Amino acid sequence: MKFLDHLEEWLIAFLMGAATLVTFIAVLHRYASGMPIPGLQDALIKINTSWAQELTIYMFVWMAKFGAAYGVRTGIHVGVDVLVNKLNTPWRNKFIVFGLLAGALFTLIVGTLGAKFVWGIAQTDQTTPDMELPKWIVYMAIPLGSYLMSFRFLQVTWVFIKTGELPKHDHAHVEGLEDEVKA
Amino acid sequence: QAPIIIKFSHVVASDTPKGKAAERFKELAEKATKGRVKVELYPNSTLYKDKEEMEALQLGAVQMLAPSLAKFGPLGVKEFEVFDLPYIFPFKDVLYQVTEGPIGKSLMQKLEPKGITGLAFWDNGFKIMSANKPLHMPADFKGLKMRIQSSKVLDAQMRALGANPQVLAFSEVYQALQTGVVDGTENPPSNMYTQKMHEVQKHLTVSNHGYLGYAVIVNKKFWDGLPADIRAQLDTAMKGATSYANAIADQENGRAMDAIRKSGKTTIYELTPAEKAEWRKALLPVQTEMEGRIGKDLIASIRKLSTAGGK
Amino acid sequence: MNAAIIFVLLLVLMLTGMPISISLGLTVLAFLFTMTSVPVESVALKLFTGIENFEIMAIPFFILAGNFLTHGGVARRMINFATSMVGHWHGGLALAGVLACALFAAVSGSSPATVVAIGSIILPAMVKQGYPKGFGAGVITTSGALGILIPPSIVMVMYSVSTNTSVGQLFMAGVVPGLLLAFCLGLTTWFLARKHNYPRMPKATWKERFTAFRKSAWGLLLIVIVMGGIYTGMFTPTEAAAVSAVYAFVIAVFVYKDMGLKKVPKVLLDSAAMSAMLLYIITNAVLFSFLMTSENIPQAMAAWIMDKGFGMISFLFVVNILLLLAGNVMEPSSIVLIMAPILFPVATTLGIDPVHFGIIMVVNMEVGMCHPPVGLNLYVASGITKMGITELTVAVLPWLLTMLAFLMLITYVPQITLWLPNLVFK
Ligand code: NA
Ligand code: NA
C-alpha cells in the first residue's frame, strides 16, 4: 500500500515538472530558431518540436486522472457541505458515507466504460496525430485512473466507518508561510 | 413510425461552405425519404470536438461527419495524406477525376475495416500562403514560423520551403498571427476571410500549392442497417449535396478573395510563371519524400492522371 | 421537463456534500442511462477529451507558478515596496496591503493564493502597529479577490475554455477594471483609516523606495514577462504560464533563495494535486454541458428569454442575482464551468460582448469569494487571523459594498472593460 501511495505521488509530481519543462523548452526552441543567426538557425529549425504540445497535453491528462485519485486520499475535492454540516453527527455521518460511496460508484462505472472504450480503440490502428502513439495506450488513463480513484473512495469510506476520521485538505492553508507569520 | 435520426456533427460554423452543404444534405435527405429520415445538424463542435468526433462516430454516438482529409492519417489510413501533398493536383479536373473516380472509391474502401463508410468528397479549395512579408520565392520563407494543422506532410512541406512549421490549434491562430507568435499560415481563401486572418496578415500569395477538402463519412453498422430503399435515397441526396458543396466552395473562395482585396488590408500577389516554377521545384521533392508513408503507387497513379489530363 | 429533472438531480446530489465533480458526473450518467440513446461510452471519451486542450493547460502551469511565488519570498518584497510608496498616507500599511495584493495579483492567477501570500505577512504586522484585527482582515480578504480580475487569472482561462473566447483578450480586458477596483478598495480603506485615525508610517525617502523596488524587481519582472510576452508574440497565454512557472522556480530557489531545492518535489506534488482537482471538475463540467447541448437546453433557454422580450439590462441583472446566489454555495471555477455554457448563448444573442460578459462573471466570482457561507477568501483570512466567520463577515462589509457598487458599474458600463482590448486588438 505504501508503495502504491508513493508511486502515485511520484508519478503526478513528475508529470507536473516534466510537462512544464517540455513546454518551456519548446518555447525557447521556437524563439531561438526565429533569430536569423546563420548556421544556428538552420540547425535549430531541423529539430522538430511539434510533438511538444501533444506530449504536454497527454502528460497533464494523466496527471489529472491520477491526481484526482490522490486527491480523494488527501480530501482535496471540494463539495457543498454547508447544509450537511448543520446536521447532527449521526445524520451527517450517513451523508458523508453516502457521498463517498457515490464517488466510488461513479468512478467504478466510468472505469468500466473506459475499459470497454479502450478495448474498442485497441482493435483499431488509431494513433495520436503528432507522436503517432497508439491511441488506446493514451486513453488507458481513463480506466486506470478511475479504478484507482474508486479504490481510494472505498479506502476512505472504510477508514471513516472504522475511525470516524476523514482526510480533509485545508484549502485555507499554505505551507511554508508559518515561519513568515511568526517572523 | 418514428423517423430514423442521423446526427450530423461538424466543427465549423453553419455559414461556411461545409456548414451550408450539410444543411443542403439535410434538406434533400428529408425530402427524398419523405420524412422517414430526420437529419439533426450539430455545427461548431457543439456536440463533439475536432479531436473526438472520429471516436464518437466509431462508437455510434453520431452517425455522420465531414472531417477534413488530414484527419484520416491518425485513423490508420495514411493513404488519405495524398491530398495534403503539395502540387499533387495541378487543377480541379484532376482532383475530380481522383475523388469521383476509381482512386477515390478505393480510398473510401480502406475506411470499411475501421467501421466507417465513406459517402462523398467535399471540396474546400486550393490553399494560399500568407505572412507579414511578401512571399514571392521559396527563399522568402527562410526561418518564417508558419502555422500548420497537425500533419506530417504539411510539416515536410513547410520544411522544404525552409520555414519553421508550428502546430497550433485553430482557435489560437488569429491571436498568434496578430501578436507574431507565428509569422504566417496557409488556408483556402474562404477560411482566411471568415476567420478574419487577412486583418492580421499584410501579404498573401495566390500559390494554390495545396488542397483542402473533406470526406463525408457515416458509421458503417448504422449505414448497412438502413433499409435498402432509404440508403439509395440518401445516396441520391448526398450526390446533390456534393455538387452543391463543390459549386459553393468555388463561389465562396472567389467571393472571399474579392472581399480581402476590397478590405485593402492585405497585398495580394499572383506568382509569375517563373516564380511558380521555383515553388514547384522546391515542393515537388516532398511527394517523393512521402512515398514511404502514403504509397508510391497511389502517388504515381495521380501523377499519371495529371500528365494525361493536362489539357 | 428534462431540464428540470437534470437541475433538480444535480442540486440534490450537490447538497449531500459529495464532491461537485462527482455530482455532475452522476447526474449525467443517470440521465444518459435512463432517458437518451446517447451511448454511455461517450462519457469515457468525454472524460479524456474534455481536457485534451492546450489552453486548459494554462491552469496547472499558473498554479505551479503561484506556489513557487508564495514559497519564494516574492510577496514579502512586494509588500516592502508597496509600503515604501504609500505607507505615509492615512492607514498606510493597509493601503500598502491593497497595493501589494494588486501587484501580487499581476503575477498569480488565484485569489485565495493572493490572500495567503500577502495576508499572512501583512496582517500580523498591522496588528502590531495597532490596527483592529477586523480592519486588516477586511482589507486583505477583498483586495485578495483582485487575484482573478487582474491578469493572469485561472477563472478567466476557465471561462475562455467553456465559451471559446480568447484568453488573451480576456486578460487584457481585466487590466482596467482590476486597477479601478484596486483604487476603489484603496479609497474605502483611506476613508475608514482617516475617520478612525489609524497609524501612518514615516515617509520613505526616494532612495529607500528605489532600494525596495530593486529588491522586488525580480518578482515585478514577471508581470512584464507574462503580459509583455503574450502581447509581443513571444508566446501564447498557455506558454506564458509555463514560462512563468519556470521563472518563479528560478527566482524562488536561485535568486531570492527563500526556498531550497529539497522543497521542489513537495511543491510539484501540491500543485499537481490542486490542478488535478480543478481539472477533474472541468472534465465533469464538460460532460454536463455536453448533456445540456445534446438536450438542446441552452438553445431552448435562449429562445425562451428572447421570446419573453427580456432586454440586455434586465438579463444582466438576473445574471448578477443568479451568480451572487450561486456564490453562496459553490466556489468560482465550478460556477463558471456550469453557468457559462448555459448563459453565454443568451448573452451573445442579446448582443453582449463575450469578453465583457466574461469580466462580469469574474467580478461576480470575486464578490462571492468574500461572503459566507462559502467564500474561499474569507476562509483563508479566517485561517490567518484566527477570527470567526461571523466576525469577519461584519469586518468585510464596507469593502464588500464597494465591490457590489463596482459590480454594477462593470455590468452596465462595458466601455471600462472593452476600451483596452479594443485599443490593442482593433
Ligand atoms: Na491575477
Ligand atoms: Na460566497
Residue C214 to residue C229: CA distance in whole angstroms: 21
Closest-CA distance, C41 to chain A, in angstroms, reads 6
Task: Answer whether B46 sits within 8 Å of C293, measured CB to CB.
Answer: yes
On the CB side of C263, CA atoms within 13 Å amount to 17
Residue pair A161/A97 in contact by the 8 Å Cβ criterion: yes
Position A173 scores a pLDDT of 54
**What is the percent of chain C with per-residue pLDDT over 90, rounded to a whole number?**
36
* Distances from the Cα of C136 to the Cα of B53, C93, C178, C379, angstroms: 53, 9, 20, 15
Q: Which residues in chain A touch residue C13, judged by CB atoms under 8 angstroms apart?
A: 102
Dig out the grid coordinates for C123 from the structure: 496582517
**What is the percent of chain B with per-residue pLDDT over 70, rounded to a whole number?**
99
Task: Answer whether A176 sits within 8 Å of C334, measured CB to CB.
Answer: no
Band of residue A103 on the pLDDT scale cut at 50, 70, 90: very high
Question: Which are the contacts of C23, defined by CB distance < 8 A and separation ≥ 6?
Answer: A79, A102, C10, C13, C14, C16
Residue C112 to residue C90: CA distance in whole angstroms: 26
Beta carbons within 10 angstroms of residue C217's beta carbon: 12
Tens digits of residue pLDDT in B16-31: 889 999 999 999 999 9
Task: Answer whether A120 sits within 8 Å of B155, measured CB to CB.
Answer: no
Whether omega for the bond prior to residue C414 falls within 30 degrees of 0, making it cis, is: no
Residue pair B122/B66 in contact by the 8 Å Cβ criterion: yes
Dig out the grid coordinates for B290 from the structure: 512521402
Residue A76 to residue A92: CA distance in whole angstroms: 19
**What is the percent of chain C with per-residue pLDDT over 70, rounded to a whole number?**
99
Which of C155, C166, C165, C171 is CA-nearest to residue C229?
C171
Q: SS3 for C53-65, per residue?
A: CCHHHHHHHHHHH
Residue C403 to residue C364: CA distance in whole angstroms: 9
Q: SS3 for chain B, per residue?
A: CCCEEEEEECCCCCCCHHHHHHHHHHHHHHHHCCCCEEEEEECCCCCCCCCCHHHHHHHCCCCEECCEHHHHCCCCCHHHHHHHCCCCCCCHHHHHHHHCCHHHHHHHHCCHHHCEEEEEEEEEEECEEEECCCCCCHHHHCCCEEEECCCHHHHHHHHHCCCEEEECCHHHHHHHHHHCCCCEEEECHHHHHHCCHHHHCCEEEECCCCEEEEEEEEEHHHHHCCCHHHHHHHHHHHHHHHHHHHHHHHHHHHHHHHHHHHHCCCEEEECCHHHHHHHHHHHHHHHHHCHHHHCHHHHHHHHHHHHHHCC
Task: Using the structure block, give the residue that is written with the C-alpha cell 523606495.
Answer: C209
Position A11 scores a pLDDT of 96
Residue pair C368/C332 in contact by the 8 Å Cβ criterion: yes
How remote is the CA of residue C241 from the centroid of ligand 1, in Å?
12
How remote is the CA of residue A87 from the centroid of ligand 2, in Å?
21
Most confident of the following: A45-49, A65-69, B196-200, C333-337: A65-69
Band of residue A170 on the pLDDT scale cut at 50, 70, 90: low
Q: Is pLDDT at C5 greater than 70 in this prediction?
A: yes
Residue A39 to residue A73: CA distance in whole angstroms: 53
Band of residue A174 on the pLDDT scale cut at 50, 70, 90: very low
The residue type at C352: I
C376-385 and C354-369 helices, crossing angle to 10° = 30
Beta carbons within 10 angstroms of residue C424's beta carbon: 15
Tens digits of residue pLDDT in B64-101: 999 999 899 999 899 999 999 999 998 888 999 999 99
| CA dihedral (C204, C207, C210, C212) positive or negative | negative
Residue B63 to residue B60: CA distance in whole angstroms: 6
Task: Using the structure block, give the residue that is written with the C-alpha cell 520544411.
Answer: B159
Point out the least confidently predicted range of C8-17, C100-109, C368-377. C368-377
The residue type at C220: L
Tens digits of residue pLDDT in A41-88: 888 888 888 899 999 999 999 999 999 999 999 988 877 777 788 888
Position B311 scores a pLDDT of 43
Give φ, ψ of C88 to 5 degrees: -85, -5
B92-99 and B296-309 helices, crossing angle to 10° = 130
Q: Is pLDDT at C187 greater than 90 in this prediction?
A: yes
Tens digits of residue pLDDT in B108-167: 999 999 999 999 999 999 999 999 999 999 999 998 999 998 889 999 999 999 999 998
Position C426 scores a pLDDT of 64
The residue type at B72: F
How remote is the CA of residue C114 from the centroid of ligand 1, in Å?
8
What ligand has the least distance to the C-alpha of C362? 1
Task: Using the structure block, give the residue that is written with the C-alpha cell 461537485.
Answer: C20
Give the full edge-to-edge strand order of the sheet including B184-187. B164-167, B145-148, B184-187, B128-131, B203-206, B267-270
On the CB side of A99, CA atoms within 13 Å amount to 30
On the CB side of C338, CA atoms within 13 Å amount to 24
Looking at residue C252, what DSSP letter applies?
Answer: I
How remote is the CA of residue C320 from the centroid of ligand 2, in Å?
13
Position A50 scores a pLDDT of 83
Residue C5 to residue C12: CA distance in whole angstroms: 11
Dig out the grid coordinates for C227 from the structure: 503580459
Task: Using the structure block, give the residue that is written with the C-alpha cell 535568486.
Answer: C255
Closest-CA distance, B14 to chain A, in angstroms, reads 26
Band of residue C174 on the pLDDT scale cut at 50, 70, 90: very high
Distance from the first to the final alpha carbon of chain C: 44
pLDDT mean over C350-370: 93
Q: Is pLDDT at B48 greater than 90 in this prediction?
A: no
Beta carbons within 10 angstroms of residue A123's beta carbon: 12
B291 part of contact set with chain C, CB < 8 Å: no
C263 part of contact set with chain A, CB < 8 Å: yes
Q: Identify which has the larger pLDDT, A89 or C426.
A: A89
Q: Which residues in chain C touch residue A150, judged by CB atoms under 8 angstroms apart?
A: none
Position C7 scores a pLDDT of 84
ipTM associated with this complex:
0.90
Q: Which C positions 243-262 lie with beta carbon below 8 A of chain A? A: 243, 245-246, 259
Radius of gyration, CA atoms only, chain A = 22
Q: Is pLDDT at A178 greater than 70 in this prediction?
A: no
Question: Which are the contacts of B121, defined by CB distance < 8 A and separation ≥ 6?
Answer: B69, B99, B100, B104, B213, B214, B215, B216, B242
**What is the percent of chain B with per-residue pLDDT over 90, rounded to a whole number?**
74
Task: Answer whether C25 sits within 8 Å of A106, measured CB to CB.
Answer: yes
Mean pLDDT rounded to a whole number for chain C: 88
Residue pair B180/B37 in contact by the 8 Å Cβ criterion: no
Residue in chain B nearest A133 by alpha carbon:
B74
Between CA C421 and CA C426, with CA C425 as vertex, the angle to 5 degrees is 110
Q: How many CB pairs under 8 A join B and C?
A: 54
Residue B135 to residue B145: CA distance in whole angstroms: 13
| CA dihedral (C333, C338, C340, C343) positive or negative | negative
The residue type at C257: K
Name the CA dihedral angle for C330, C332, C333, C335, rounded to a multiple of 10 degrees: 60
Residue A28 to residue C235: CA distance in whole angstroms: 10
Question: Which are the contacts of C53, defined by CB distance < 8 A and separation ≥ 6?
Answer: A57, B169, C161
pLDDT mean over B303-308: 85
**What is the percent of chain A with per-residue pLDDT over 70, rounded to a whole number?**
92
Write the burial class of residue B123 (CB in 10 Å: 0-12 exposed, 13-18 middle, 19+ buried): buried
Tens digits of residue pLDDT in C118-143: 888 888 888 888 889 889 999 999 99
pLDDT mean over C396-400: 94
Q: Is pLDDT at A175 greater than 50 in this prediction?
A: no
Position A159 scores a pLDDT of 94
Q: Which of A50, A118, A131 would you mutate first to test chain B, the one with the most B CBs within 10 A?
A: A50
Residue C13 to residue C28: CA distance in whole angstroms: 12
Q: Is pLDDT at A114 greater than 80 in this prediction?
A: yes
Whether omega for the bond prior to residue C152 falls within 30 degrees of 0, making it cis, is: yes
Q: Is pLDDT at C298 greater than 80 in this prediction?
A: no
Q: List B9's β-bridge partners, or say none.
A: B42, B65
Task: Answer whether A66 sits within 8 Å of C276, measured CB to CB.
Answer: yes
Dig out the grid coordinates for A111 from the structure: 472505469
Position B183 scores a pLDDT of 94
Looking at residue C146, what DSSP letter applies?
Answer: G
Rounded to an integer, what is the distance from CA B127 to the centroid of its chain? 9
Which of B270, B293, B289 is CA-nearest to residue B157?
B289
Point out the least confidently predicted range of A113-117, B36-40, C110-114, C357-361. C110-114
Chains that touch A (3 or more CB pairs under 8 A): B, C
Residue B276 to residue B208: CA distance in whole angstroms: 10
Position C202 scores a pLDDT of 85
Task: Answer whether C236 sits within 8 Å of B51, measured CB to CB.
Answer: no
